[in-house]
Homo-oligomer: A and B are copies of this chain.
């Protein structure tokens, strides 16, 4: 028995086999290190990994216990849309529908948490092999943009941002909604169809960067392994 992965596997096996039931305290790192004949650091690595996965709960002095209600943590990759389209073997394209300065609506301001005056409003239709793939509605803080503006008809705002703007934090959420008239028309689907919607918000340390809402064409699926 050597290697932190082997130890992680063994510990996981004991949890799964109920040798260490849910909610119980497991032996200390030192004890496990001795049992497995490895350094404590190796046990630490294995247990930390399991703690991050939500299988264990660790507290200094209190010890390590098996999580009572294992909250499954799934990690999803949020790719750039172009990469997503190309990964399906289709040809990516984009059409800029609008790009102008305007006062963002209240819901957007609320999500951004700060009013920076007029923002750049961009609407883009992302295409996969010519068919509508996703409709993007974005509000961008103009303070972070250079003059002249980047050519958002050539490069998607998202890709320009990841390449040129540093940012600190953000959040993302997913929901199912009926397609609005505009979205339905742009994607060529029936109005009111169930569409998958992604909303993302990102901030630089000091100011909001962008709020974006993506309406995916029907059939879109977000998946990951547990």
Contacts and interface: CB of A to CB of B under 8 A. Distances in A.
B74 A80 contact: no
A110 interface: no
A176 interface: yes
Contacts of A16: 166-168
Contacts of A76: 73-76
Interface residues of A, number: 52
Residue among A166, A175, A176, A224 having the largest count of chain B Cβ atoms under 10 Å = A176
Interface stretch (A132-140, A146-154, A195-203): A195-203
The 6 closest A-B pairs by CB, nearest first: A16-B166, A173-B223, A176-B176, A194-B194, A176-B196, A72-B78
12 contacts: A16-B166, A54-B77, A72-B172, A74-B76, A75-B76, A171-B225, A172-B224, A173-B222, A174-B221, A175-B219, A178-B193, A178-B194
Given A72-B78, A171-B225, 17 more contacts: A17-B166, A69-B79, A71-B77, A71-B78, A71-B80, A72-B77, A73-B77, A75-B75, A75-B76, A170-B226, A172-B225, A173-B223, A175-B222, A176-B195, A176-B218, A176-B220, A178-B193
